[in-house]
Amino acid sequence: MSDIKCGMAISGPYAITADNLRLVSDAGIELVEIHFAEPNFPYNDRRAVEAARGALETSGVRCRSVHLDFEPDYDISSMDPLVRTSTLDDMISALPAAKSLGAEIVVVHGSDEPVEPHERDARVRLLTDSLTALTEAAGQVGMRIALELLPRTCLGHTTSEILDVAGRVGSDRLGSVVRNLRREYENLGGRIEFETLVEDLDVQSGRV
């Protein structure tokens, strides 16, 4: 029988407390994803990170992943070099805090939107450069980067585009939130009737 575990995302000021996480544990949820963004979670505040780590240890809930921010001025494929560089620098600076909380995966968005058709190719190249640097930094602390499948005009809005970016980056530290989804889901006895549109689900080695 496959070892499927239930997880949930946690977001919001002061949400990561021992009392709140005990409620999560009492509901049978073992894994959480923490949203790294102000004011949801001040990941550059050492005391806040230590308090969150203590709350996780007390509750028995495990942080499997963190989700980095996504805003118009927080975009690793932005055509504005200042926005792109500051975003990448901040993402890299967040990795030690994510590692400290026990996270194995850092989830990122490929872009904000809209992404205009005439700039898409250029932004894919910028995204590739940023992800190459980010995955190298993640590898140094033993973590993986997951590029999220997004809707509408965002970069990474189809599995084929995500696979194209992953191929350009060429790193075993870069995956996708839908990596191996079809094969793993079918191994669990399910059936998938779509090609490119899926929900935010990560199934790896029989684990959700």
> What percent of the chain has a predicted confidence (pLDDT) above 90?
59
Whether residue 172 is predicted with pLDDT greater than 60 in this model: the reply is yes
Residue 129 has pLDDT above 80, yes or no: yes
Q: How far apart are CA 83 and CA 97, in angstroms?
A: 22
pLDDT value at 8 more than 80: yes
Does residue 120 have a pLDDT over 80? yes
Query: What are the C-alpha distances in Å from 3 to residues 203, 206, 207, 208?
Result: 11, 6, 6, 9
pLDDT at 59: 93
Whether the Cβ atoms of residue 94 and residue 126 lie closer than 8 Å to each other: no
Task: Identify the pLDDT of residue 162.
Answer: 87
The pTM of this model reads 0.82
Residue 7 has pLDDT above 90, yes or no: no
Per-residue pLDDT at 203 exceeds 70: no
Q: What is the pLDDT of residues 54-113, one digit of tens each?
A: 999 999 999 999 999 998 899 999 999 999 999 999 999 999 999 999 999 999 999 999
208 — pLDDT class (breaks 50, 70, 90): very low
Give the CA angle between residues 42, 128, 39 to the nearest 5°. 15
Cα 70 versus chain centre, distance: 11
pLDDT of residue 13: 63
Dihedral Cα 74, 130, 145, 67, nearest 10 deg: 0
**Residue 173: predicted pLDDT:** 73
Do residues 42 and 94 make contact, with C-beta atoms less than 8 angstroms apart?
A: no
Average the pLDDT over 141-145 and give the result. 93
DSSP state for residue 71 in the 8-state scheme: B
